[in-house]
Amino acid sequence: MNASELLPPSDTMYRALVNRDSSFEGIFFVGVRTTGIFCRPTCTAKKPARQNVDFFATPSEALHGGYRPCLRCNPMDPSERPPKLIERLRAEVERAPDGRLTDKELA
């Protein structure tokens, strides 16, 4: 399974992009076909039409897809904080006595 298979549905990601939803920061990156640039979901640049976007799980995937980083949102720079989902998972692992979680505990 590659990282792109773990992305949320594309409609959800596009909605997050349009709304600049910070809870998706670090979860996905968006490439704009008409400009050849990729951004963070919270970028303040004008939002592209839905048919002009590609979604990527990592900046590396976007680079390999032929996109260059946005100079406005700097998607190559690490985020100040990890995504909320990652923070919650990290906290759960730290609370687990042996550092392991079952599938049931993750649900």
* Residues labelled catalytic: 39, 43, 70, 73
Q: CB–CB of 42/22 below 8 Å?
A: yes
Any long-range contacts for 1-5 (C-beta under 8 Å, 24+ apart)? 2/57, 3/57, 3/58, 3/61, 4/55, 4/56, 4/57, 4/61
Q: CB–CB of 29/39 below 8 Å?
A: yes
